[in-house]
């Protein structure tokens, strides 16, 4: 939906008549103006394209951007050359980032740590990512080198892993080493710091090549220091690397055989079992996936069954809690719980501002509501205008079929 933007200078240069005497420029104004320059929106044509055909009165479908008739020239397709991979052949020094790699993937926080390492490395240095197990996307996150740590990603042996990381760092002699300030990353950083007898600059919230900044004394002061060997980076403090991808070349590291402890395992740990959160009892504020009912849900038994089958944590709007239909601790919103969930499924909730405050932090929202103009429908990534009392049994039926339950499949 763009039309070319005029470039008066180029237009005039194109119609300039080659002069004979050179006394003054002459132009041939009879020629048609050539187009060129940057593309530009044409609001009139856009509007015309949204016009819904109908006899009675003008109607526009504002939800779509339809192609307009008329001489609207398409935006010249930007030629996307294959991004060239940046290489640093012989870095002056290395900055090592040690991501958490929870679930074998780089998290957003991990990428921020790589972004911070990139800032400290500057033009001369190289960023090396020290990762356990295989993973992908290190290059686009800003890593020039990849050091693969020979370790079991599923075993719980933080002391052993810290020993292996410390041995690798001793062989590598990097200038800086950065960890994410998460439960695992912060733990690992402190173990490595104690093991290497190096000070740790924890929870850095500000970062530049000349200094790191961290809060202290209950955020009444901040401490600033030149970047040392070890630091942890707070979440949402440094932007991810956004430049062209880098090569993430595998860098083999020879660990000195005399480095004691590189192979040790913690004998005292007898077992470590991961217990996933039970969605039915997890506090609402910690839940990953919340399914909530509002005033539009009358069939609460079906709702409760649906929540159990979806393995979601139940939530409710204030109306239902006030009416005593749902327990008070399930209330979502300003006077209830503010969620930090990944996904929020809202059934029959209008989306009052007090309720939406509680949902503000949710990444994805799915809404079912009979009212097309409800605020919840607007907030949702998937919005369904339909009766919740029809959708809930349909969901149960489908989930039952998937589970191969012959009783529900009928």
Partner 1 sequence: MKIAILLSAGRHPVSGAAVLPRLEAQAIRLAAGLGQHIGLHAGPEAAVVAEALGQGLAHIQHAALPEEADPVPALATCLAALAPDLVLAGRRGQGGAETGIVPYAVADRLGYPLIPDIIAAAPGEEAGTLHLDQSLGRGARRRVTIRGPVVATVHPDAPASFAYAYGQARRGVIEPVVGALAPHPAPVPAVEERPYRRRPKLVKGAPAGSSAAERLKAATGEAGPASSGRLLVRPDPDEAAREILAHLRRIGVLAAPRDPR
Ligand X SMILES: Cc1cc2nc3c(=O)[nH]c(=O)nc-3n(C[C@H](O)[C@H](O)[C@H](O)COP(=O)(O)OP(=O)(O)OC[C@H]3O[C@@H](n4cnc5c(N)ncnc54)[C@H](O)[C@@H]3O)c2cc1C
Out of 61, 124, 371, 402, which residue is the one contacting ligand X (CB under 6 A)?
A: 371
At its nearest, how many Å lie between ligand X and the CB of residue 330?
10
Q: Which of 104, 37, 19 is nearest to 76 (CA)?
A: 37
Q: Which helix (H) or strand (E) covers residue 16, if one does?
A: strand 16-17
- Between 147 and 312, name the residue whose CB sits nearer to partner 1: 312
The span of 50-58, 165-173, 305-313, 364-372 binding ligand X (CB under 6 A) equals: 364-372
- Between 259 and 334, name the residue whose CB sits nearer to ligand X: 334
256-285 binders of ligand X (CB under 6 A): none
DSSP annotation of 86 reads B
At its nearest, how many Å lie between ligand X and the CB of residue 310?
17
At its nearest, how many Å lie between ligand X and the CB of residue 359?
9
From residue 329 to residue 358, the character string flagging contacts with ligand X as x (rule: CB under 6 A) and all else as - is --xxxxxx-----------xxx-x-xx---
**Number of residues in contact with ligand X under rule CB under 6 A:** 26
The span of 49-57, 233-241, 305-313, 317-325 binding ligand X (CB under 6 A) equals: 317-325
**Residue 226 makes contact with partner 1 by CB under 8 A:** yes
On the 0-12 / 13-18 / 19+ scale of CB atoms within 10 A, 161 is buried
Q: Which does 135 bind (CB under 5 to 8 A by kind): ligand X, partner 1, none?
A: none
At its nearest, how many Å lie between partner 1 and the CB of residue 372?
6
Question: Which residues neighbour 32 within 8 Å (Cβ) at sequence distance 6 or greater?
Answer: none
Question: Which residues neighbour 244 within 8 Å (Cβ) at sequence distance 6 or greater?
Answer: 83, 84, 85, 86
Out of 278, 324, 353, 410, which residue is the one contacting partner 1 (CB under 8 A)?
A: 278
- Between 92 and 363, name the residue whose CB sits nearer to partner 1: 363
Out of 177, 233, 374, 392, which residue is the one contacting ligand X (CB under 6 A)?
A: 374
168 half-sphere exposure, CB direction, 13 A CA radius: 27
Distance, first Cα to last Cα, the chain: 49
Q: Which of 175, 320, 180 is nearest to 240 (CA)?
A: 180
Burial 2-41 (b: 16+ CB within 10 A, else e): bbbeeeeeebeeeeeeeeeeeeeeeeeeeeeeeeeeebee
At its nearest, how many Å lie between ligand X and the CB of residue 399?
19
Cβ contact 319:347 at 8 Å: no
Longest dimension (CA), the chain: 98
At its nearest, how many Å lie between partner 1 and the CB of residue 235?
9
The CA-atom distances, in angstroms, between 84 and each of 140, 218, 242, 243, 244 are 11, 46, 14, 11, 7
At its nearest, how many Å lie between partner 1 and the CB of residue 295?
20
**Residue 220 makes contact with partner 1 by CB under 8 A:** yes
User: Which two tokens mark 44?
Assistant: 């009139």
**Residue 217 makes contact with partner 1 by CB under 8 A:** yes
- Between 45 and 230, name the residue whose CB sits nearer to partner 1: 230
């Amino acid at each position: 939906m763009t039309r070319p933007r005029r470039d008066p200078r180029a237009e005039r240069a194109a119609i300039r008549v080659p002069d004979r005497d050179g006394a003054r420029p002459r132009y041939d104004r009879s020629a048609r103006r050539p187009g060129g320059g940057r593309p530009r929106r044409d609001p009139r044509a856009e509007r015309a394209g949204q016009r819904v055909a109908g006899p009675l009165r003008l109607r526009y479908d504002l939800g779509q951007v339809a192609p307009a008739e008329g001489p609207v020239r398409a935006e010249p397709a930007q030629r996307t050359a294959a991004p060239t991979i940046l290489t640093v052949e012989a870095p002056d020094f290395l900055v090592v980032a040690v991501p958490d790699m929870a679930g074998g993937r780089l998290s957003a926080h991990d990428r921020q740590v790589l972004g911070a390492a990139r800032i400290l490395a500057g033009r001369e240095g190289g960023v090396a990512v020290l990762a356990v197990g295989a993973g992908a996307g290190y290059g686009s996150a800003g890593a020039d080198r990849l050091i693969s740590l020979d370790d079991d990603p599923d075993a719980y042996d933080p002391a052993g892993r810290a020993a292996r990381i410390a041995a690798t760092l001793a062989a590598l002699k990097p200038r800086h080493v950065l960890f994410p300030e998460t439960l695992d990353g912060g733990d690992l950083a402190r173990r490595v710091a104690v093991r290497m007898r190096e000070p740790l600059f924890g929870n850095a919230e500000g970062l530049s090549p000349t200094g790191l900044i961290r809060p202290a004394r209950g955020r009444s002061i901040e401490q600033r220091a030149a970047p040392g060997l070890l630091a942890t980076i707070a979440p949402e403090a440094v932007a991810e690397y956004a430049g062209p991808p880098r090569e993430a070349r595998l860098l083999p590291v020879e660990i000195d055989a005399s480095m004691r402890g590189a192979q040790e395992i913690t004998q005292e740990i007898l077992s470590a079992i991961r217990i996933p959160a039970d969605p039915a009892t997890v506090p609402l504020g910690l839940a990953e996936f919340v399914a909530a009912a509002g005033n539009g849900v009358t069939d609460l038994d079906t709702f409760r069954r649906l929540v159990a089958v979806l393995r979601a944590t139940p939530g409710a709007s204030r109306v239902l809690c006030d009416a005593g239909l749902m327990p008070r601790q399930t209330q979502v919103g300003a006077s209830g719980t503010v969620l930090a969930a990944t996904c929020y499924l809202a059934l029959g909730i209008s989306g009052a501002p007090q309720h939406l405050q509680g949902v503000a932090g949710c990444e994805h929202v799915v809404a079912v509501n009979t009212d097309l103009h409800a605020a919840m429908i607007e907030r949702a990534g998937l919005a369904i205008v339909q009766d919740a009392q029809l959708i809930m049994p349909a969901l149960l039926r489908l989930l039952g079929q998937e589970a191969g339950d012959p009783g529900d499949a009928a």
